[in-house]
Structure formats: C-alpha cells, structure tokens
C-alpha cells in the first residue's frame, strides 16, 4: 500500500476525531512572551458549528489505531479501517502550519490507544512538548489523557497542556463492562482524581509563587455518551454533579449516541439520535453549574428522566408552583435565577436596576427577561402579567406552545455548520 501523504493522514485522523465533542476551550489566559500564539481568556473557540461543535481548534487524532474494542467507537480494533499514526513532529508541524495560515487558534489532540496506554501518553507528551518548547507555541492545547496511563505521565502532560480530558463515555459501571470491557472504571477515575488534585494543589501553590508551573489551567473535562447503555438521566446528572463537586471538573460534555458500528450490544436507534435528550442534559448541567440547582431537585427515582418537551427549569417551576409568583422588586438573586424566562444576565440586571427604584412589568423585557415565559411566574409592584394564573397542567400547556422547534439531526462536522432549530449558544451550553 503506498505511503500516505501528511494531508491524507490528516483527512483520516480529523474524520476519526469528529465524534469527540469535549473540545470546547475556556478559562485559559496566557500572554505570549517570545513564542507565537496566545491562549485567550474565555477560550479560543469563538466559532461554533450550528450543531454546537467548535471549529477553531485543529481537532485530530494522533492515531486511529486502537488496541481496544469499544462497541460504540468508529476506531475500535475490530473495524476494518485504514489505520494511520502521526509522529509527534508531524503533529507539531501540522499545528504550526495551520496556525500560521490563520486557520486555527489551537489544538485538540485525541487518540486511540497504540501498544499500551503509557506508550500512547509518551507520544502525546512529546507532541505537546515539541509545540511548547521547540516551536514556542503558546496557543491553546487540549489533550486527551489515556485511561490506565501512569499518573506521572498524566502530570507531565498537564504541565504542558491548557486542558486535559479523560473521556468517561459510559455513565454506569455496567455500561462500561458491556460496551468497553477493555477499560475499567478505576482506570478512568484514577487519572481524573489525580488531575483534580493537581489542579487544586497547583492553584494554591501559585498563589504563593508564580514560578510554580501551571497545571492544566483551563481545567479538565470529560464526555458522556447519552443513550448507548440504557442509563437514566438521573444516573447521568448525578454522575456529573459528583464530577463537578469532587474532581474539580470544568465541563462535562454530553454526546447523543450515534450508531457507527453494527453490534448486537448496542441499542437500535430509531429515527434520529437522541439529540433533544442531549440538549436537555446540557440544560440540566447549566442549571447545576450556574443556577444553584442540585441534581436531586431536577430528577429523582420516581422521575428518573428529563421531560423532553419542556426545559428542566420550567419543569422544576411547575412542580414548585407554591414558590411563585416571585416579586421582582424583593426576591434575592438566587430566587430570581429560578424563574423561567430569567437568566443570569437578566437576574443581574434586575438586581442592579431596582437599586434606582421599583421596577414595573414594562421594565422587565428591557432587562432581558423573556416575558412569554416569566409572565406566569413573576409580579412587579404586586402586578401579575398573566391574565390568569393557571394550574400546573394549564401552565404546562401554555409553556409548551412556546417551546422552540426540535433541533434537526446533524452529523457533527469539523468544518461545516448546519441549521438547527434551537439557539446555537444554548445548544452547546444548555444556557437557559
């Protein structure tokens, strides 16, 4: 078989990386000193595809070869695919080449497992080291950690990269055993825990001395596949809450299960992949990270799955109608955040604006409140905007009338966007 050119390898490896959605960058800020590139605050991914994937990182695999055979993975050992591997200098050369052509702002480097986890990690570390030390590349770098790798290698990688991520993929232990039997939960959690410890420890040490090198300053992230192993939303949301709370996780990404292999262990996907469910999980995740909701407020054993037709904040409000209406001139910030139609920015604006005098209902839209939702849940100067206060069933019917169209199914694409029927920012973040 003829030797592949670098461009041909790139095509194969970029295609193999497209199912990994955990590539959004955020939170890394580092000025360029004597190299090239800057890692900007709030991340370098300012462009998003319509299906919510970022496009300004070079997103590739080091190799699509893998010694493992995860049922859901396009790169698994048993698939009859052409396998290629980049050398660390080739990864560095490609990244610098794209950066100089202004096509990318950073690198997202994932990989299959070649030979052993440690060997693969050595290659990732060398590629990252070459970029940082030889090419003086100061741009954003996000690298995958290989489950089961030596924790000292994990530490070396975290000293070079802005963000590291270890994909958990399957939310339950049973799911992992069934679909990815070569990987153990412990092999995934141990590096996550070590990364979490080093992030916290390094932040503390750098408060004392800035000479201590940073460790994964943009934090760690992970990805969960949604709908591959029969897990409930309660299991997913509880797991995510634990990852945020205990392992210093910056982001959990949710990826609707897309069948790419024929395998009797996998569920049949009738119609489109569970993209609406993925979107609802992003919304629940957003509520936990920014709105002060606990996982148990959103789901429980009696109600283990999110309502696909209604966003989880509206669902919570309908179950707690005794807490409404909220008077916008008196409610504290945390209470305002729980009102459907009021987001972080509009809650902040309300708190600021009411210092200058009592707000009226007419003021609320100017402050960013979405009145078509909030009208049923707020009063201003004691006045209620809705013509009547319906019961939960009536209110639900009214809110459903306002629900935007379902997102259309789009294959994740590195370079192309497609139209989706939902707000793009909301699609990827779940912001409500």
Q: Applying CB under 6 A, which residues contact ligand SF4? A: 66, 68, 70, 73, 75-76, 112-113, 180
Nearest approach in angstroms of CB 71 to ligand SF4 is 9
Contact 114, 146 (CB under 8 A): no
Rounded distance between C-alpha atoms, residue 413 and residue 420, angstroms: 13
Contact 65, 112 (CB under 8 A): yes
DSSP class of residue 175?
H
The residue among 20 and 51 lying less far from ligand SF4, judged by its C-beta, is 20
In this structure, what token pair is assigned to residue 410? 């789009």
Rounded distance between C-alpha atoms, residue 130 and residue 160, angstroms: 10
The residue among 189 and 386 lying less far from ligand SF4, judged by its C-beta, is 189
Q: How many CB atoms lie within 10 A of CB 89?
A: 12
Q: How many CB atoms lie within 10 A of CB 114?
A: 18
The residue among 68 and 376 lying less far from ligand SF4, judged by its C-beta, is 68
* Torsion angle of C-alpha atoms 270, 274, 275, 278, degrees rounded to 10: 180
Phi and psi at residue 211, to the nearest 5°: -75, -20
Contact 249, 219 (CB under 8 A): yes
The residue among 39 and 153 lying less far from ligand SF4, judged by its C-beta, is 153
Nearest approach in angstroms of CB 145 to ligand SF4 is 12
Nearest approach in angstroms of CB 301 to ligand SF4 is 30
Rounded distance between C-alpha atoms, residue 223 and residue 170, angstroms: 9
The residue among 188 and 326 lying less far from ligand SF4, judged by its C-beta, is 188
Nearest approach in angstroms of CB 349 to ligand SF4 is 44
Nearest approach in angstroms of CB 167 to ligand SF4 is 7
Q: How many CB atoms lie within 10 A of CB 262?
A: 7
Nearest approach in angstroms of CB 38 to ligand SF4 is 31
The residue among 92 and 180 lying less far from ligand SF4, judged by its C-beta, is 180
The residue among 78 and 87 lying less far from ligand SF4, judged by its C-beta, is 78
Sheet holding 378-380, edge to edge: 326-327, 378-380, 383-384
Nearest approach in angstroms of CB 308 to ligand SF4 is 27
> 280 to each of 237, 255, 311, how far by Cα in Å?
11, 12, 6
Nearest approach in angstroms of CB 68 to ligand SF4 is 4
The residue among 260 and 386 lying less far from ligand SF4, judged by its C-beta, is 260
Nearest approach in angstroms of CB 112 to ligand SF4 is 4
Phi-psi category of 280—alpha, beta or left, where left has phi over 0 and alpha has psi -120 to 50? Answer: alpha
The residue among 172 and 305 lying less far from ligand SF4, judged by its C-beta, is 172
Q: Is 268 helix (H, G, I), strand (E, B) or coil?
A: coil
Residues with Cβ within 8 Å of 192's Cβ and at least 6 positions away in sequence, in order, are 166, 168, 220, 222, 243, 247, 249
């Amino acid at each position: 078989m003829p030797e592949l050119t670098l461009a041909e390898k790139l095509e194969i490896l970029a295609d193999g990386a497209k199912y990994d959605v955990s590539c959004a960058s955020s939170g890394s800020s580092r000025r360029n000193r004597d190299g090239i590139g800057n890692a900007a605050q709030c991340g370098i991914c300012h462009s998003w595809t319509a299906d919510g994937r970022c496009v300004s990182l070079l997103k590739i695999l080091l190799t699509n070869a893998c010694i493992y055979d995860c049922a859901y993975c396009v790169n698994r050992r048993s698939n009859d695919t052409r396998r290629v591997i980049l050398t660390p200098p080739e990864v560095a050369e490609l990244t610098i080449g794209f950066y100089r052509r202004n096509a990318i702002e950073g690198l997202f480097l994932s990989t299959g497992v070649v030979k052993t986890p440690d060997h693969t990690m050595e290659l990732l570390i060398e590629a990252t080291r070459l970029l940082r030390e030889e090419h003086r590349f100061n741009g954003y770098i996000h690298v995958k950690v290989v489950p089961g790798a030596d924790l000292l290698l994990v530490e070396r990688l975290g000293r070079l990269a802005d963000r590291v991520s270890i994909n958990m993929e399957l939310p339950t232990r049973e799911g992992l055993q069934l679909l990815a039997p070569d990987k153990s939960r412990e092999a995934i959690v141990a590096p996550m825990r070590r990364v979490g410890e080093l992030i916290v420890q390094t932040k503390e040490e750098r408060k004392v001395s800035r000479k201590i090198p940073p460790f994964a300053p943009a934090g760690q992230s992970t990805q969960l596949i949604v709908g591959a192993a029969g897990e409930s939303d309660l299991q997913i949301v509880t797991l995510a809450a634990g990852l945020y709370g205990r392992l210093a996780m910056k982001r959990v990404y949710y990826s609707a299960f897309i069948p790419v292999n024929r395998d009797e262990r996998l569920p049949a996907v009738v119609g489109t992949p569970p993209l609406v469910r993925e979107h609802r999980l992003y919304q629940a995740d957003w509520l936990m990270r920014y709105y002060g909701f606990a996982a148990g407020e959103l789901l429980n054993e009696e109600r283990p799955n999110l309502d696909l037709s209604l966003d989880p904040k509206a669902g919570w409000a309908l179950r707690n109608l005794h807490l409404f209406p909220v008077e916008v001139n008196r409610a504290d910030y945390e209470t305002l955040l729980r009102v459907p139609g009021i987001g972080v920015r509009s809650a902040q604006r309300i708190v600021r604006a009411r210092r200058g005098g009592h707000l009226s209902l007419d003021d609320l839209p100017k402050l960013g409140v979405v009145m078509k939702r909030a009208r049923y849940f707020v009063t201003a100067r004691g006045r209620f905007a809705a013509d009547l206060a319906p019961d939960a069933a009536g209110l639900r019917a009214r809110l459903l009338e306002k629900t935007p169209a379902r997102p259309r199914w789009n294959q994740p694409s590195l370079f192309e966007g497609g139209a989706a029927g939902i707000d793009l920012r909301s699609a990827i973040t779940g912001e409500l």
